[in-house]
Structure 1
């Protein structure tokens, strides 16, 4: 997605990176190098920004545990170029829930369900995932400048203006500071309400450890727990549970044993993931579970057995203020019951990166951060609550709809969702932009606006206009008026009309290309509105054009009576000619011969307030049980002469000649969509040609001055 190219550089595509101020990268500091922080670093790097990551640890004691990469998270990792299966992550193939005595409550074959999702549900080793993220962030290969990762850099304080102070005394400055510093976040304390936001125990703690799968397979009694690859097994007691699943290409088993906190005597010292646990205590807690499972737990290595308290926190009032923003557990800590903690941090990172493509003005940073929060707040909070509900003791919570939870969790792509929210934000900044079909893609650029919604200039466009003004019958032409509000100002039966053909070129809105249009202009017409006000002008009943873009934009934005036909114009030094047709069926010849630079004279056409036409939009579908034949809009439109006179034009030369006009109505087979139009044009009598001329020049109107009557 290149919204920055579409929005910020539409009018500066040729400017170089160095000379276009809007293309300068932002300096962004990320506090914390966990999964969320490194994901944000990678994606923001790939957007073209300069990233510094501050990590208080030395990465000397990376933690061994597994992590769920559900489809919603796995897809984002793939988007950044990380394929977790290359680091040993294996797919989740089955899920079984057991009672404590080992009886099966239900079992699901996930190989069939996996076809629902774009990406696989993987079970990854946290250390391997972290290493891969770090390599992708700091490596020389890949898009953007490598991330500067500074370890042993403990943050003392931050503010909302981009200042970060380290405990070493060093002070850093950035356009954006991202707090990815976990549940005990320092950055969160700076946000409104953050200083008062305290974490609290959920009432549960968890033992965690890894075990070689071969160890379980080697024991006849525990073999059954490890036989199936990709098997997620959950043993559910009333107030305690054991979750087992494989990782590292199914060579390791990951254990998470959730239980009442008071039974394991966890110390709430803030070092939640590192607290050493006692094997005997864990076995005591699960002594009433199936003996084979207790035996499997007893095979854990006590020196690697850890226990941590599952902390929770009330909703933070806001995740951002000024140039400071929090992501991941710093903004919304999760209990582990949905396996979405890492996934939601990755989603935060993706949303944040979407909001900051290269070229974002510094002045927009606070509102872009607010937009990130708007995208993420409801979803992260909802999954937080799902996790709380799922983690309740059996029989104490509301009925669970697992499909609802799974569908909501997995069926989301944060990059795509946030991209659309950014588009809507950018569209809203262009309130005067034209919307016309297809609206799915946003406001439509055209002759009256560029992609930014700004007026285009037509002063460099070129035109060549051939026109033949003639006398004809009022009684024939008045039958082309759409309503009784239109009529001739004069009762005379001999009136003036003009066939005008303009070939336009060097049009900015068509990338320097052009098109030709052929129209009938009836002079001396007046329009009377319901209040009795009269507007006098020249009426346009039909305008043929040979390109779809001006037809669509003119019909929808202005309501002009445009139709398509093939138009072929040929010109020599002294002669000009046009043929018009549809799919090879020629229905019109117009010519001017003997072109000469003789002084043009003023054609005596009636006084005019401008160009008149009639807009009509039919109603779609069925209304009140009946197929509709009515309209959604119909009214007169005026392009004021006074406004058109303001268009900067330069007439190059004017040539005068002798004109000829001929229409051939053909039949419905030859002109299946135009026969009724050409038949009426053929009826118009030619009492005499008043003037035939060819005018060439520079400067074309965008007709934006048209007003509804």
Structure 2
């Protein structure tokens, strides 16, 4: 998977690895330890238990969490996780209420939805954390280390035996009964049961399949099944390569009160469990009877009011210490993993010790709203079922799964750093941040050129929505993708315009990134759909400057060299001899021109969407935007007589971008360093179109703005 290894860096002030003390070695704490070690920091973990073993049976690794683990090099399939492929809902009487095959809908997400054994996940996280890597040593894990005191100002941890440890950062990952939470202002709260408890255990799938009566309930791989009563439910799903069935039985707490405690490890009573579910379908009861009585556990489902803030000075919380989850969405572990990754991004390599409190506040700002919202979803889904209270489960799933916290936190950190930059020079395109040098331009007049000819080469590719959306105008509302999928599509497109009268009947070339399937919601609520253009490069400075300032297009100068052969088309882009791009279309075959649209990017988008950011040039408002707004260009209406005379389709294509460095690309490196982040998962199509138009986009635009 083509991702960056490290995030944005900030090297002002004291640049040395941070000493990070992590209290708790659960899933969140271990993930944070691994991710922060990858950022070059010095980590130490303190776990109150002796073996630091994770309890529980199975865990959902939804796409939003699984992608983050993969970024850390942890692939749950390698230790038994199996895909989530089906969903079946039954009434308590055993009547099928809903069946869903998820194999197609799951293709919307970049990463698979897996069902893993919780102990296997924890053991592998612990193995990775406590093993050295090529660049970093093993992380010390101190077991039987009970915390007596945490000092958020001094970043110290004191154990019950009096031993004190000094750090630069303290992270509280010590679960629902967190000691570290009580150090925070407003954190003196205790989790409580809100009326529900749960039994949990595993049953061999082989035992279920070998019984003719229960076999029908487990005939599909990767199937999550749920039986709903009014105030109780049964959840079953497979794990460990579909060899074990994980059961969670949620019921009124008072019915098992004699057995339950506030921890996961309380021994349950099988006979009492069967009595609690005696009104359910006899077939599922027969399945429950296969549980080993010694393995049945029961625990109260604990909830906690929203913790006002998760940080104080040099202390921050993550996971259940900050936001314990009810188990109704399977997102508790996922959100803890997201917290851990966000902390690793925010505490980037070279973070000065003096900035730690501010960066932990940024972490809180990034994570608090999302985690609280998913928490609320879980509470709603867990409420007793009533016919008059339908829930939009799909909106919950889209919100949960359609998120990548590495990409999100990376962008939020960028924006935070941009806002702290003194005398920042902002010019279009602002999606890439402030430019290293200012640029004065003078708008040209509109040109009305005679019919020019054009050649357009485009390469469309499959990529990541969560990466592309970081190229939207920062902190601007209204921009979104038409679909919540984490898979998205974009094109690199290069056009050569010949016989341009406004340039002395010469030619010029432009090259841009077009993001497909984007929507802009205007203030009146109307929606414009099209291809979003974050940046466009021109080989001629005159149209680049005029269209940049007058038309509002995000243009920069770049050399664009095209090498055309009978069966290939190659584009090389650069600046002052430094090549930053190489795009190749091979094995070109002529096809029917009627199959292509008049769009300059060779796709079905009907508008180009971009963002105009005109800075004031007069003091005292110099550099402050004057009337920034979204603009859209209905290009198919602007070129009504476009004719595609010849179309060539490539069977092979490649995209190569090199960000180089600030010395080689002093005015473009900030853009290239972002373009290389855009992953290319698959080339969808590539083609070359030759034709002529009566009006082209080099100076005269039929556009609207807001």
Q: TM-score category by the smaller chain?
A: 0.5 to 0.7
Aligned position for 1:302: 293
Aligned position for 1:114: 106
1:324 aligns with 2:326: no
Shift in Å, 1:446: 2.5
Closer, same or farther: CA 621–184 of 1 in aligned 2, 3 Å: closer
Closer, same or farther: CA 278–5 of 1 in aligned 2, 3 Å: closer
Shift in Å, 1:6: 6.3
1:227 aligns with 2:219: yes
| Partner Cα distance (1:374, 1:563) in 2 | 34
Aligned position for 2:410: 419
- SS of equivalent residue, structure 1 residue 276: coil
**Residue pairs, 1:69-148, within 5 angstroms:** 69-141=61-133, 143-148=135-140
Aligned position for 2:367: 376
Closer, same or farther: CA 554–363 of 1 in aligned 2, 3 Å: farther
| Partner Cα distance (1:23, 1:563) in 2 | 34
- SS of equivalent residue, structure 1 residue 206: strand
Shift in Å, 1:143: 4.5
1:353 aligns with 2:331: no
Aligned position for 2:195: 203
Shift in Å, 1:135: 1.2
User: Could you report, residue by residue, the CA deviation over 1:365-410 in whole angstroms, capped at 9, with x for unpaired residues?
Assistant: 1111111111111111011111111101111883200110110111
| Partner Cα distance (1:93, 1:618) in 2 | 46
Shift in Å, 1:145: 3.2
Shift in Å, 1:60: 6.9
Q: Residues 49 and 144 of structure 1 are in contact (CA less than 8 Å); yes or no, is this contact kept in structure 2?
A: no
- SS of equivalent residue, structure 1 residue 23: coil
| Partner Cα distance (1:5, 1:130) in 2 | 25
Q: Residues 90 and 97 of structure 2 are in contact (CA less than 8 Å); yes or no, is this contact kept in structure 1?
A: yes
1:193 aligns with 2:186: yes
Residue ranges of structure 1 left out of the alignment (5+ in a row): 10-19, 450-480, 483-545, 567-615, 628-671, 674-709
Shift in Å, 1:136: 1.3
Q: Which stretch of structure 1 is more off in the superposition, 548-557 or 380-389?
A: 548-557
**Residue pairs, 1:373-412, within 5 angstroms:** 373-395=364-386, 398-412=389-403
Aligned position for 1:681: none
**Residue pairs, 1:497-646, within 5 angstroms:** none
Aligned position for 1:445: 436
| Partner Cα distance (2:434, 2:122) in 1 | 42
Q: Residues 64 and 210 of structure 1 are in contact (CA less than 8 Å); yes or no, is this contact kept in structure 2?
A: no
User: Could you report, residue by residue, the CA deviation over 1:114-145 in whole angstroms, capped at 9, with x for unpaired residues?
Assistant: 11111111000001101111111111125533
Q: Residues 208 and 255 of structure 1 are in contact (CA less than 8 Å); yes or no, is this contact kept in structure 2?
A: yes
**Residue pairs, 1:55-66, within 5 angstroms:** 55-59=47-51, 62-66=54-58
- CA RMSD after TM alignment: 3.4
| Partner Cα distance (1:242, 1:89) in 2 | 21
Q: Residues 24 and 359 of structure 1 are in contact (CA less than 8 Å); yes or no, is this contact kept in structure 2?
A: yes
Shift in Å, 1:284: 0.1
Q: Residues 97 and 107 of structure 1 are in contact (CA less than 8 Å); yes or no, is this contact kept in structure 2?
A: yes
Q: Residues 269 and 296 of structure 2 are in contact (CA less than 8 Å); yes or no, is this contact kept in structure 1?
A: yes
Q: Residues 209 and 304 of structure 1 are in contact (CA less than 8 Å); yes or no, is this contact kept in structure 2?
A: yes
Closer, same or farther: CA 557–360 of 1 in aligned 2, 3 Å: farther
Residue ranges of structure 2 left out of the alignment (5+ in a row): 446-537, 560-625, 639-694, 697-706
Shift in Å, 1:23: 3.3
| Partner Cα distance (1:233, 1:301) in 2 | 20
1:163 to 156, 167, 175: 156
Q: Residues 7 and 345 of structure 2 are in contact (CA less than 8 Å); yes or no, is this contact kept in structure 1?
A: no
Q: Residues 66 and 113 of structure 2 are in contact (CA less than 8 Å); yes or no, is this contact kept in structure 1?
A: yes
| Partner Cα distance (1:133, 1:290) in 2 | 39
| Partner Cα distance (1:141, 1:563) in 2 | 42
| Partner Cα distance (1:550, 1:37) in 2 | 55
- SS of equivalent residue, structure 1 residue 59: coil
User: Could you report, residue by residue, the CA deviation over 1:171-195 in whole angstroms, capped at 9, with x for unpaired residues?
Assistant: 0011000000000000000000112
- SS of equivalent residue, structure 2 residue 357: helix
| Partner Cα distance (2:379, 2:301) in 1 | 11
In the alignment of these two chains, the number of paired residues is: 471
Q: Residues 29 and 53 of structure 1 are in contact (CA less than 8 Å); yes or no, is this contact kept in structure 2?
A: yes
Aligned position for 1:149: 141
1:281 aligns with 2:256: no
Aligned position for 2:511: none
1:177 aligns with 2:179: no
- SS of equivalent residue, structure 1 residue 33: coil
Aligned position for 1:430: 421
Aligned position for 1:262: 254
1:30 aligns with 2:22: yes
1:244 aligns with 2:236: yes
| Partner Cα distance (1:63, 1:617) in 2 | 57
Closer, same or farther: CA 210–393 of 1 in aligned 2, 3 Å: same
| Partner Cα distance (1:102, 1:4) in 2 | 50
Closer, same or farther: CA 323–96 of 1 in aligned 2, 3 Å: same
Closer, same or farther: CA 179–386 of 1 in aligned 2, 3 Å: same
Shift in Å, 1:447: 6.1
- SS of equivalent residue, structure 2 residue 106: helix
Closer, same or farther: CA 557–364 of 1 in aligned 2, 3 Å: farther
Q: Residues 260 and 266 of structure 2 are in contact (CA less than 8 Å); yes or no, is this contact kept in structure 1?
A: no
- SS of equivalent residue, structure 2 residue 376: helix
TM-score using structure 1 length: 0.62
TM-score using structure 2 length: 0.62
Larger Rg: 1
Shift in Å, 1:564: 9.0
User: Could you report, residue by residue, the CA deviation over 1:572-605 in whole angstroms, capped at 9, with x for unpaired residues?
Assistant: xxxxxxxxxxxxxxxxxxxxxxxxxxxxxxxxxx
| Partner Cα distance (2:47, 2:632) in 1 | 61
